[in-house]
Amino acid sequence: MDANQPPLLAGIEAGGTKYVCAVGHQPDELLRETRFPTTSPEETIDQAVGFFRQAAAEFGPLRAMGVGTFGPADINPRSPGYGGILNTPKEAWAGFNVVNALRDGLGEPVPIAIDTDVNAAAIGEAEFGAGRNERNVAYVTVGTGIGGGILIDGQPLHGRLHTEIGHLLVPDFDQPGKATGVCPFHDRCLEGRASGPAIEKRWGKPATELPPDHPAWQLEARYLAAAAIDLTAAWSPDIIILGGGVMQQEHLIDLVRGEFHALAGDYWTLPPLDTYLVTPWLGQNAGIVGALAMARRLL
């Protein structure tokens, strides 16, 4: 250990299907990283704690931890339930307190900050990625689900709970009678129409098997553009970063810009769309880098 080294930061991207854990002296320079499937709460937290204990033995004591978690979750630091997963289809996790379990497991008084996975990714991109030099950064992930968060002057927007933009209502752009929503709650919400499973249900094969000239992508772009307009109306961000598995289709972002232009109808005064609607610089690392940046904000 070098006495002049910055303190050791810990981060978890606590996703619904996998956990990513990492340590580093800088949020964007990971010293060690591990990823494993999200199983039962006890088993998953045990694995995370094991990783961090080993990392601490090797690199020195953890000074702070940031967690970006799947939700819904209680992320209000003033709440007695801070750090708890709320009512979720992942039933074993409902009511489980991630922060308390980590604190108990680590056995050390490490300060822990928790926020949504999308707010963590927004922080990562704001500090080290596409959102640098922007005051108000929106991050949207489009994958198995759809979620989003916004930073206003660098701080995540928390309302009563947290934003849930996957359940924005969107116009019906499917052909009449062809709608294929996958949300069990809503006929016309964003996640039900534009998530990875929605694409697969509509076209009969996974998004990764649809060629770039398939009509699926124009329709997908139109739904995502509608969402971007709603976020412009509701949040007025400086930049909207679209990430997640579905956005790894490299041709998609340009289609979204085109559909945004058509739907927006010259109403909005905005920066050029190729600087307003962008993909993440950090790619799939936005969340874990953001979790470490959340830890650094605790110092």
Residues near a copy of itself (CB under 8 A): 72, 86-87, 135-136, 150, 152, 157-172, 185-186, 188, 226, 229-238, 263-269
Which structure tokens are listed for 246?
A: 């579905």
Tell me how far, at minimum, the Cβ of 175 lies from a copy of itself, in Å: 14
Torsion 170-171-173-179 (CA) sign: positive
Tell me how far, at minimum, the Cβ of 158 lies from a copy of itself, in Å: 7
Complex with a copy of itself: residue 42 or 274, whichever CB lies closer? 274
Which structure tokens are listed for 23?
A: 């340590």
Tell me how far, at minimum, the Cβ of 82 lies from a copy of itself, in Å: 15
Complex with a copy of itself: residue 56 or 169, whichever CB lies closer? 169
Tell me how far, at minimum, the Cβ of 209 lies from a copy of itself, in Å: 30
Contact predicate 81/97, CB 8 Å: yes
Complex with a copy of itself: residue 54 or 236, whichever CB lies closer? 236
Tell me how far, at minimum, the Cβ of 221 lies from a copy of itself, in Å: 14
Cα distance between residue 294 and residue 10, in whole Å:
9
Cα distance between residue 215 and residue 24, in whole Å:
43
Residues whose CB is less than 8 angstroms from the CB of residue 137 and which lie 6 or more positions away in sequence, other chains included: 122, 125, 126, 131, 150, 151, 237, 238, 239, 241
Complex with a copy of itself: residue 165 or 278, whichever CB lies closer? 165
Relative to beta strand 146-152, strand 18-24 is: unpaired
Complex with a copy of itself: residue 171 or 206, whichever CB lies closer? 171
Residue 206: strand pairing partners:
none
